[in-house]
Amino acid sequence: MTWQLQEAKNRFSEVVDLALSDGPQTITRHGRATVVIVAAGQYARETRREKLSTILRECPVKGWKISRDKDAGRTLRFE
């Protein structure tokens, strides 16, 4: 649902209740979407970031062996 800023201020409790029950509530200013009010749980789920190493370790595919090549890289020559 979309709310004009002034109406959202006047009915803030209702806006919060609707964000909790029905999903994100968009607030507009001068006809342009400005902010979105979302439930804290939804925000946490959508902004959670994990390290790739953690994701790979917890991957349900069995038998993966993650190893690091011991190669030191290439030789650099300075002339």
Largest CA distance in the chain: 72
Distances (CA, A) of 46 to 8, 42, 53: 24, 6, 20
Domain holding 18: CATH number? 3.40.1620.10
pLDDT tens string 2-36: 999 999 999 999 999 999 999 999 999 999 999 99
CB 12 within 8 A of CB 3: no
- The answer to whether position 73 is within a domain reads no
- The answer to whether position 79 is within a domain reads no
- The answer to whether position 72 is within a domain reads no
- The answer to whether position 75 is within a domain reads no
CA separation for the pair 31, 16 (Å, rounded) = 21
pLDDT tens string 50-62: 888 887 778 777 6
Q: Range of 23's domain?
A: 2-57
The count of domains in the chain is: 1
pLDDT at 63 over 80: no
Distances (CA, A) of 28 to 2, 21, 40: 7, 20, 20
